[in-house]
Structure 1
Amino acid sequence: MIDGHVWLGPDRPGLGVHLHRALGEAIPVVGVAKNPFRGRPRARCCAATAVGRCSSPPSA
């Protein structure tokens, strides 16, 4: 789990994707951020994204 975004948008990898790839894609990464990435819909309390098993980039 990281304090940051995994995906910044469709086809826009964030810190979590880069970490997941650096770890040989062997370990799932979950990112939690207090604020959504600029241009993304606003969440009520936080924004969470993930990469790894059963995951795909967010839709627009």
Structure 2
Amino acid sequence: MPHSTTRDGVRVYFEEHGRGDAVLLAYGIGGNAGMWEPNIRALSAGHRLILWEPRGHAR
């Protein structure tokens, strides 16, 4: 699983899909990056998708 580490040592989960202009996908309360799974194929056809989970959430 890809992660980025903040300056204060917190690991933040993210995924990247597709190529093109970047689109950042966030989710609402009670979700996680996996909620975008049904849309990834269509949205990534012309865009670079970045899915992330805020610090302290999910993964």
TM-score, normalising length from structure 1?
Answer: 0.30
Larger Rg: 2
Higher strand share goes to which structure?
2
